[in-house]
A and B are shown apart, each in its own frame.
Chain A
Amino acid sequence: MADSIAHAQAHPDGPADPGRRDFIHIAAAAATLGGVAAVAWPLIDQMNPAADTLALASLEYDLSKVTLGQQVTISWRKQPVFIRYRTPAEIAAAKAADHASDLKDPATDASRVKAGHEQYLIVLASCTHLGCVPVFAQGDYGGWLCPCHGSQYDTSARIRKGPAPLNLVVPEYAFLSDTKVKIG
């Protein structure tokens, strides 16, 4: 850039140090780019969840409302969550399949529930393929079938067949008491 400027000068009066000049222009360009980059952050960050959305990120639920063999769907962070009170048969089936060869995303049943509360399975009700809500008691594995593209989950909500790549996600949760759970 400095060269073209030197040529454009109408009244050159002696040479100036071209290295110093280049430095000034490079510094100016760098400062401009840096400023633009810094401004970009607020413009992007504003799209992240706002404080009021984050504040609703945890949810307490009373499990005494769920009876044996029943499943409820609740809304957590605007996403559906299954809370399933599994029958002993379902738990046994899930444990039996812990090392089945068709597990795409191998995980033991114990890793997907809390010790001492094996009867409660809590998972995001969102198929890991493209996000539809799976339906219970359909498919070949006694668990869930996604109506959109036929992914099949077992009684531990692990993917067994179909296009979905991963098991239904277990959200972060903790038991506050035997009947009270805090999700998030």
Chain B
Amino acid sequence: MLRKIFAAATLAGLVAMAAPAVAGSTRETLKEVHWSFESPFGQYDQAQLQRGFKIYKEVCSACHSLNQIAFRNLGDKGGPFWNPKYTPNDNPVVKAIAKDYQIADIDSDSGDAIKRPGVPADYFPSPFSNAAAARAANGGAVPPDMSLLAAAREGGPAYIYSVVTGDGTDAPAGLTIPDGKYYDPWMSGDVSSYFKNPGHKVPKGGFIAMPPPLIADRVTYDDGTKATIEQEGKDISAFLQWASDPHMEERKTLGLSVMIFLFLFSGVIYASYRTIWRNVGH
């Protein structure tokens, strides 16, 4: 009995301490999306990752860098263009994608700065040469690097989906939107100083410098999927989730074997324990 109280109190304390810090968040509840990768056994949907990559390439990459991802990563196990027949470095799709990009390099003979076609080992080039250039071109806000974007936002892919599918026009009456900004109910922030509508609650959310990025048929999917805003939003969110967590499939697969081993291991050790302690008063 005492032990149980003690254990319960301890557990309650730990749970309370481990509770995520959510107070102070004034953003709107994120849109609900079903993801192929959400369960402990869930994996990425490769076709979706390919569609998402297309959105990145044709839409996002105009402003957002992806500086931790190399072209070869696209052909990694679990990646958008993984093909078990090839290593990531000689995957023909990956090579063709890399070739389309111009990579800054130094000519080894003349020492001149040159541009050459990419190879799988190269990283995605940044759209801007430095943070100052990015800031100047985007009204003072640096578009964040997308390599870890899904991991760096509370809510992950659901957050990205909510933000990119919001159309930015539904700003509540009485809210003054600063020049070059857009209202976004899912952004964390505080818009109270821009809100004058007596008797109404200050709207949730904040301002974002990114204009609504998606429109229907912004891209033409190779697999014939209809490119609605929702479809595009889901695909880019899934792609960015993969970019943040490329080893997820490997992690979950290995995790399953480890869990099975640990349960069996505990069982065997428990049997050994019971045998040793049999008939021993304690």
Q: Which one, B88, B272, B278, contacts A25 given CB within 8 A? A: B272
Give the segment of B9-17, B124-132, B213-221, B261-269 that binds chain A: B261-269
With both chains docked as a complex, state the minimum distance between the C-beta of A99 and any C-beta of chain B, in angstroms: 39
A45 interfacial by beta-carbon distance below 8 Å: no
- Residues of A within 8 Å of B, CB-based: how many? 25
Please tell me if the beta carbons of B279 and A12 are within 8 angstroms of each other in the complex. Answer: yes
With contact pairs A27-B268, A31-B268 given, residues A55 and B88 touching in the complex (Cβ less than 8 Å):
yes
| Interfacial chain A residues near B280, Cβ < 8 Å | 8-11
Once bound together, how far apart are the Cα atoms of A59 and B278, in whole Å?
A: 67
Please tell me if the beta carbons of A54 and B272 are within 8 angstroms of each other in the complex. Answer: no
Please tell me if the beta carbons of A55 and B89 are within 8 angstroms of each other in the complex. Answer: yes
Closest to B258 in A: A38
Once bound together, how far apart are the Cα atoms of A33 and B252, in whole Å?
A: 24
Closest to B89 in A: A55
Please tell me if the beta carbons of A55 and B279 are within 8 angstroms of each other in the complex. Answer: no
Please tell me if the beta carbons of B265 and A31 are within 8 angstroms of each other in the complex. Answer: yes
A178 interfacial by beta-carbon distance below 8 Å: no
Binary interface profile of B, 245-282, with partner A (CB < 8 Å = 1, else 0)? Answer: 00000000000000001001100110110011011110
Closest to B273 in A: A28
- Residues of B within 8 Å of A, CB-based: how many? 21
Closest to A42 in B: B254
Please tell me if the beta carbons of A13 and B120 are within 8 angstroms of each other in the complex. Answer: no
B7 interfacial by beta-carbon distance below 8 Å: no
A52 interfacial by beta-carbon distance below 8 Å: yes
Once bound together, how far apart are the Cα atoms of A16 and B278, in whole Å?
A: 10
With contact pairs A24-B268, A31-B264 given, residues A11 and B70 touching in the complex (Cβ less than 8 Å):
no
Q: Which one, B89, B268, B275, B279, contacts A13 given CB within 8 A? A: B279
Q: Which one, B121, B265, B279, B281, contacts A56 given CB within 8 A? A: B121
Please tell me if the beta carbons of A65 and B275 are within 8 angstroms of each other in the complex. Answer: no
With contact pairs A10-B279, A21-B275, A35-B261 given, residues A65 and B268 touching in the complex (Cβ less than 8 Å):
no
A67 interfacial by beta-carbon distance below 8 Å: no
**Sample of 5 A–B contacts (CB below 8 Å):** A9-B280, A10-B281, A28-B268, A28-B271, A31-B265
Besides A24-B271, A55-B121, A57-B89, 11 other A-B contacts (C-beta < 8 A): A5-B276, A9-B279, A9-B280, A10-B279, A11-B279, A27-B271, A28-B271, A31-B264, A35-B261, A55-B88, A65-B109
Q: Which residues of A contact B (CB under 8 A)?
A: 5, 8-13, 16, 21, 24-25, 27-28, 31-32, 35, 38, 51-52, 54-58, 65
